[in-house]
């Protein structure tokens, strides 16, 4: 099998019943049992029954996406799938990547991402922060537009907006205080953006407003045993592969209030001679993004038995 990468999605791809197609697959059943014990609740029931509104709560979304990604990974391994040459994850997906690489156990990661989610939600009251996707504008222009929008409120203002997710060459997500995000959307549309689309999120993730959450997370990470990865993990914040546990902790800390440099992560994977990326977990968002970053890349999804078989077929 030719070398490939597993990439793990973040928030937004969750759906009620997203593991149902696996049926009673032993690897998936064991993953749900392990995560449920670690979280002290029946996470499988939440995923199967919902409701949608419950899954959309950040404190639930982050652990359920972690569990769904690891369930797909373990099913792949149980069905004889080869190991990836490198892994990466988008935002909270980086925790899934670290579990895949053996740096964290699922039992460690599930409560850790729930804590991360709670800290992020509590850092900025609902309605104070906002995020928006800017489509059809070069990322450098988005960065500049955010700078101008922030400065328009005057020196010393608490209003701030930043580019936080560099998803593909024509899609950049911005985040910050609601007034500043609204202002940036106006300015970026005037600069030529095709769309400035407000996102239905409850906090301005990956912006500097998340620094209080990151400080709480840093304490939690310091008390978490992290091992050197068995598989290289390309991180979001530095687009780097780290093996030292303290450097991994620091990258996770800074990632909470720093940008997801996804375009660069994909290109770093390409630089390793890899042109096949398999999105491990529900949805096809990352598989689609990689094709938009470089049409020469193969992007596949792995979220049920049928896509598992398809992914194997793509990787002779």
- Per-residue pLDDT tens for 2-18? 899 999 999 988 999 99
> Under a CB-based contact definition with an 8 Å cutoff, are residues 187 and 181 in contact?
no
Task: Please state, rounded to an integer, the average pLDDT across all residues of the chain.
Answer: 96
Beta carbons of 276 and 179 less than 8 angstroms apart: no
Asked if the model's pLDDT at residue 316 lies above 80, the reply is no
Rounded mean pLDDT of 157-177? 96
Indicate the pLDDT class of residue 153, thresholds 50, 70 and 90.
very high
Query: What's the CA gap between 269 and 52, in Å, rounded?
Result: 34
pLDDT reading at 1 higher than 80: no
Task: State the pLDDT at residue 193.
Answer: 97
Whether 202 has a pLDDT exceeding 90, the answer reads no
- 126 — pLDDT class (breaks 50, 70, 90): confident
Burial 207-243, CB ≥16 within 10 A → b, else e = bebbeebbebbeebbeebebeebebbbbbbbbbeebe
Q: What is the pLDDT of residues 31-54, one digit of tens each?
A: 999 999 999 999 999 999 999 999
Q: What pLDDT sits at residue 79? A: 95
What's the pLDDT score for residue 127?
A: 86
If one counts every other C-beta atom within 10 angstroms of the C-beta of residue 81, the result is 20
pLDDT at 304: 97
- E-assigned strand segments in 26-85: none
> Which pLDDT score, from 0 to 100, does residue 315 have?
81
Q: What amino acid positions are annotated as catalytic residues?
A: 91, 206
Contact of 6 with 311, CB cutoff 8 Å: no
% pLDDT > 70, the chain: 100
The pTM is what?
Answer: 0.96
Residue 12 is predicted with a pLDDT of: 87
């Amino acid at each position: 099998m030719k070398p490939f990468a597993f990439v793990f999605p973040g928030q937004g791809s969750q759906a009620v019943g997203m593991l149902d197609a696996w049926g009673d697959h032993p690897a998936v059943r064991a993953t749900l049992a392990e995560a449920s014990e670690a979280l002290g609740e029946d996470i499988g029931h939440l995923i199967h029954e919902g409701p949608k509104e419950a899954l959309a709560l950040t404190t639930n979304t982050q652990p359920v996406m972690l569990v769904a990604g690891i369930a797909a990974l373990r099913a792949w391994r149980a069905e004889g799938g080869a190991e990836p040459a490198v892994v990466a994850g988008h935002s909270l997906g980086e925790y899934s990547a670290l579990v895949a690489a053996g740096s964290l156990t699922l039992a460690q990661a599930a409560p850790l991402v729930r804590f991360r989610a709670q800290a992020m939600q509590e850092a900025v009251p609902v309605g104070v922060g906002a995020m928006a996707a800017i489509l059809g504008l070069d990322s450098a222009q988005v960065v500049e537009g955010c700078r101008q929008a922030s400065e328009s409120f005057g020196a010393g203002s608490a209003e701030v907006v930043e580019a936080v997710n560099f998803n593909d060459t024509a899609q950049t997500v911005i985040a910050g205080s609601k007034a500043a995000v609204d202002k940036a959307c106006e300015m970026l549309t005037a600069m030529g953006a095709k769309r400035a689309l407000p996102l239905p999120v409850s906090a301005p993730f990956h912006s500097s407003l998340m620094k209080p959450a990151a400080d709480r997370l840093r304490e939690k990470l310091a008390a978490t045993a992290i091992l050197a990865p068995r598989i290289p993990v390309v991180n979001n914040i530095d687009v780097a592969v780290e093996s030292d546990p303290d450097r991994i902790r620091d990258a996770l800390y800074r990632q909470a209030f720093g940008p997801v440099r996804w375009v660069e992560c994909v290109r770093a994977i390409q630089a390793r001679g890899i042109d096949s990326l398999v999105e491990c977990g529900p949805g096809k968002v990352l598989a689609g993004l990689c094709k938009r970053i470089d049409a020469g890349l193969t992007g596949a999804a792995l979220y049920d038995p049928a896509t598992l078989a398809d992914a194997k077929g793509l990787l002779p």
